[in-house]
Amino acid sequence: EEYLTSTNILQSIFQRAVRNCPWVATLWIRYAEYMEFNKTIDHSELKKIYDRALNSDPTNFVSFVDLQLAYIQYRRRHYDQELLSNNNEQCELLKEEIRHICEYACDQYQELFSLSKDPNLFLKYNGKIELYWIHLETKSFNSIDHARQIWNGRILMNNSHNEMISNLWRIYYYMEIQYGDEKRARKVLYRALNHVQTMDYPLIICDILLEHEKKYGTIQQLKETNDKLKQIKSKIIPIEKPKRQQQQKPPNKNNKKQIDKDKQKEIKQKPAKISENKMDT
């Protein structure tokens, strides 16, 4: 791309590359973005490239997520271009299309990977597609209600692994703060407190809640929150103390005696130092 100026040559190279290595998601993404940047093909042709890419290796976790995000991001750019034309009807249709694409991608992820034997897979994923969908709803579509539906109906639904990830609760909280709904933001944090026993970093939620009450709460709410957080922290933090005490075992008496004997031997073996001040007779 840096050295070849001919679009036709690069296009043929990309086509050959994705034909020979269809499982490499990066090739598909670079190919599609290059064609989009040079405006050599229209929207329908770009959609075909992404469709081929998404069907190339759908069972690979990393490829699936990267390609889905790349496609949704392309559709967002296309939507932004249509906004400039002031065609409201077309923009509404595109908006619904993007929502359908996001919903289908999230459902497909659940179908393919939610039952994986890898227990850390959901941590690697961390709701990436849903989070970008929320970003679209809040920034591009100006729909906080749709964003809340995604949070409550998908990301943080009951019995979801995502409830254990403190960072997701933090993002949800700051979204509500950004939209000026302090009461909803407080409710998000109190919902998160229900999962502190299984959460990865529960103290983060505790600190955010305390800071929230300092900024927006009454003195009574601050007092109640302080008391509640003390109880929660007392259940979380002492879990580590017994383990540390077990690790710090007292030294064995026999070992101590052996060390003292070794020190005495070293002292006997050391030659006495001759004072430099004494003269040879």
Which tokens sit at 175?
């979204």
Q: Please write the tens of the pLDDT for every residue from 197-215.
A: 888 899 999 999 999 999 9
Average pLDDT over residues 28-48: 91
Q: Are 132 and 75 in contact (CB under 8 A)?
A: no
Quick one: pLDDT at residue 154? 87
pLDDT over 80 (residue 5): no
Q: Please give the C-alpha separations between residue 194 and each of 104, 111, 189, in angstroms, as whole numbers.
A: 30, 27, 9
| Whole-number percent of the chain with pLDDT over 70 | 77
Calpha distance 72→103 (Å, rounded): 11
Q: Which amino acid is at 71?
A: Y
> What is the chain's mean pLDDT, rounded?
82
Q: Which residue has the tokens 């990393």?
A: 62
Count of CB atoms situated within 10 Å of the CB of 168 = 20
DSSP string, 68-80: HHHHHHHHHHHHH
pLDDT at residue 157, rounded to an integer: 77
What is the predicted pLDDT for the residue at 150?
Answer: 94
Taking only Cα atoms into account, the Rg of the chain, rounded to an integer number of angstroms, comes to 31
At residue 14, does pLDDT exceed 50? Answer: yes
Residue type at 153 in one-letter notation? G
Predicted local distance difference test score (pLDDT) of residue 41 = 85
The pTM of the full predicted model, rounded to 2 decimals, is 0.76
Decide if 205 contacts 189 (C-beta within 8 A). yes
* Average pLDDT score over residue span 16-42: 91
Q: Helix, strand, or coil here: 257?
A: helix
Task: Find the range with the poorest average confidence among 13-27, 84-98, 187-201, 229-243.
Answer: 229-243
- pLDDT of 275 reads 45
DSSP 5-29: --HHHHHHHHHHHHHH-TT-HHHHH
Distance (Å, whole) CA 108 – CA 60? 12
Nearest to 149 by CA among 164, 160, 138: 138
Q: Which amino acid type is present at position 138?
A: T
pLDDT of res. 88? 85
**Tokens encoding 266:** 């070293």
- Interval 184-190 mean pLDDT: 95
pLDDT of residue 184: 94
The answer, yes or no, to whether residue 4 has pLDDT greater than 70, is: no
- The pLDDT assigned to 276 comes to 47
